[in-house]
Structure 1
């Protein structure tokens, strides 16, 4: 095989495995997509709407990182609630399940980020947390069936464009809540 060294042709020994790597330069960009509509969380039922959706458009590169923010979450027993995010290619990530304990949550804003230092605490306060899944749950149709991923990195190296769905469900009786500020999807992508 012939190659180039300092502009001059040379003979390459390819009795071993040869590989050529092409690197494309890209610009890292974070784009925010918002669905500010409230999600009501009835007792022992699916959220309204179910799912809440965001249509991502206009990105040309692949995902490097994704984070999700739930705005103004209130619930009388947060441990009852689960959040499941489904990406445009069907990838699933459970953001929270059996987390937050039994203390009342009032207008807390939770950002889910794989690189956060801790998971959702027993008493939820506004902050940034890792996805926090402490029990196995199956979300009602039309949500996909388990198994679900537990890290937002499941979306890395995929295309962001398309419909993203947030499924919110209350799994235990007696308590109810609301996400009054909707939710936000932050996508960092490698744009060509």
Structure 2
């Protein structure tokens, strides 16, 4: 069963196409890493897959409510503790115990600390732990290792391996080598859109993007 199928996708930023003609699939147990220079359209493509903006062309096929998305914002509530943040997201997504997520990202000792008192790296680890309590099979990740030290990067990579081993999948943009031998790499450079091509789908009002 394919978890994600992208067909001839075009993604636009600011009304101008960034990439076009992108096609790939992700089956259970697979990971795909997007590469390419800054500004090529990696974030824009991920936002389309996550449903945060419409594609400028092509189509995306996946099961409804299958995506957990993590970008540069960690999605944390500053006044809540580490555990309370994870429990909040677990309730939202119908997930289960947060203990495994705490342990996976080395947050157990910080369980009762307010998110506002965490360092940048600790906040990032908590934001990634949030993925683990969603129960969603497809992780869509935009530069997930920002602010992480080398040990935390390896912890995250192991969390991705566990996720894949459970029959799930991951799509991510990162310049870091995560050591995921099972991951495929897709360089978006050949898919750069021709200059000046409009990226506004019919009826799309960019004010609401």
TM-score by length of 2: 0.25
* Normalised TM-score (structure 1): 0.26
The structure whose residues are more often helix, as a share, is 2
Between Structure 1 and Structure 2, which shows a larger proportion of strand residues? 1
